[in-house]
């Protein structure tokens, strides 16, 4: 398996623009997580899905952020409108959850977002 795939790897955009980050989880994994990493706040969980259904989005910073998972092999994280404080590295991770929470997560390479 190619692992978790994220695109783009780097995104530079201007304040106010819409940004869409994409993720393809590992085939067969039924949990998908979106994280944001910054020096100041460390690794933050934004939202997670189980079987394509959003379970907990309490980590989403505000209404400018939205996430979807239309099928088992694709998820998007959208920021509209983007702001400079959204600059961070965004990670997608997936895991199997059949037997509970004992499984490790597999992370994608991340998308480095810079909003100017």
Partner 1 sequence: AQSVAQPEDQVNVAEGNPLTVKCTYSVSGNPYLFWYVQYPNRGLQFLLKYITGDNLVKGSYGFEAEFNKSQTSFHLKKPSALVSDSALYFCAVRESYIPTFGRGTSLIVHP
Q: How many residues bind partner 1 (CB under 8 A)?
A: 22
Q: Which is nearer to partner 1, 15 or 55 (CB)?
A: 55
Separation CA 76–CA 53 (nearest Å): 13
Q: Does 48 bind partner 1 (CB under 8 A)?
A: yes
Select 93 or 113, whichever has its Cβ closest to partner 1: 93
31 scored as a contact of partner 1 (CB under 8 A): yes
Phi/psi-derived region of residue 42, left when phi > 0, alpha when psi is between -120 and 50, beta in every other case: left
> How many CB atoms neighbour CB 57 within 10 A?
15
> For the chain, give me the number of helices (H) and strands (E)?
0, 11
Which residues in this chain contact partner 1 in the complex, by CB under 8 A?
4, 31, 42-43, 45, 48, 50, 55-56, 91, 93, 97, 100-102, 104-110
């Amino acid at each position: 398996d190619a692992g978790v795939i994220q695109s783009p790897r780097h995104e530079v955009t201007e304040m106010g623009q819409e940004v869409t980050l994409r993720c393809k989880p590992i085939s067969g994994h039924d949990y998908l997580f979106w994280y944001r990493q910054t020096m100041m706040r460390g690794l933050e969980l934004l939202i997670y899905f189980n079987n394509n259904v959003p379970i907990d989005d309490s980590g989403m910073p505000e209404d400018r952020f939205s996430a979807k998972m239309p099928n088992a092999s694709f998820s998007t994280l959208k920021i509209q409108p983007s702001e400079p404080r959204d600059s961070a590295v965004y990670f997608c991770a997936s895991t199997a959850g059949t037997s509970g929470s004992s499984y490790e997560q597999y992370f994608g390479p991340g998308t480095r977002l810079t909003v100017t």
